[in-house]
C-alpha cells in the first residue's frame, strides 16, 4: 500500500527551521505516560536547548511528569513558534519523540539557564529540581500549510 501521508523527508530548510525553534525555546509541552493509568499526561515545562542543540528540561521531582519519566523515559515534546498575527494553525510547531534521562550534575547548566530564564533563580537551588536531557528519537515539523516534514534525530541536533 502506498504511503499517501503529507509528510516529506527533511530538507535543509526544515532542518534549519527545527534547529532554530529548538534554540529559541524557553518552554514546551511535555507528554508522558502515566504509570498508574497508562494514559498520556501533559505538562507545560521549562525547556531550553542544551550544548548539542537538543532539549533540556528543568523538572521538579515532586511533579507527576518527573515520576512518570522515572517509570518510563519515553515522552513527547511539543514546541511552538507563536507569531504576532495570523492563524495559529499555520504557525510552526515541532513535535518530538524523546527519551528522557536525568542529568546527575546540572551545575554546568545553571548559569546559562538562569541567564535565559531569570525567574528560575528562585528554584534552581532547590533540592528537588533536576535537569533532564530529552534525547530526540524523531520529529515532525509542521511549518505551515503544505510544509510538513519527518525529521530524524540527526536532523534536529547541531551539526
The C-alpha atoms of residue 154 and residue 25 are separated, in whole angstroms, by 19
What pLDDT is attached to residue 82? Answer: 78
Q: Give the CA radius of gyration of the chain.
A: 16
- Domains assigned to the chain: 28-82+91-156 (2.30.110.10)
Per-residue pLDDT at 6: 75
Q: What is the pLDDT of residue 77?
A: 98
Residue 45 to residue 29: CA distance in whole angstroms: 6
- pLDDT tens digits in sequence order for the chain, 159 residues long: 455 467 788 999 999 999 999 999 999 999 999 999 999 999 999 999 998 999 999 999 999 999 999 999 999 999 998 778 888 877 889 999 999 999 987 778 888 888 999 998 888 888 999 999 999 999 999 987 778 999 999 999 987
Regarding pTM above 0.85, the answer is yes
β-partners of residue 75 are 32, 98
Amino acid at each position: 500500500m502506498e504511503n499517501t501521508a503529507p509528510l516529506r523527508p527533511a530538507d535543509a530548510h526544515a532542518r534549519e527551521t527545527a534547529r532554530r525553534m529548538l534554540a529559541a525555546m524557553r518552554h514546551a509541552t511535555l507528554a508522558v505516560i502515566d504509570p498508574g493509568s497508562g494514559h498520556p499526561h501533559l505538562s507545560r515545562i521549562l525547556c531550553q536547548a542544551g550544548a548539542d542543540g537538543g532539549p533540556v528540561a528543568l523538572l521538579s521531582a515532586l511533579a507527576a511528569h518527573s515520576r512518570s519519566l522515572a517509570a518510563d523515559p519515553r515522552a513527547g515534546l511539543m514546541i511552538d513558534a507563536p507569531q504576532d498575527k495570523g492563524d495559529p494553525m499555520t504557525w510552526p510547531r515541532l513535535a518530538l519523540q524523546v527519551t528522557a534521562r536525568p542529568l546527575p550534575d546540572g551545575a554546568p547548566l545553571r548559569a546559562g539557564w538562569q541567564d535565559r530564564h531569570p525567574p528560575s533563580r528562585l528554584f534552581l537551588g532547590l533540592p528537588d529540581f533536576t535537569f533532564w536531557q530529552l534525547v530526540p528519537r524523531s520529529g515532525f515539523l509542521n511549518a505551515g500549510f503544505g510544509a510538513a516534514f519527518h525529521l530524524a534525530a540527526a536532523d534536529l541536533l547541531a551539526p
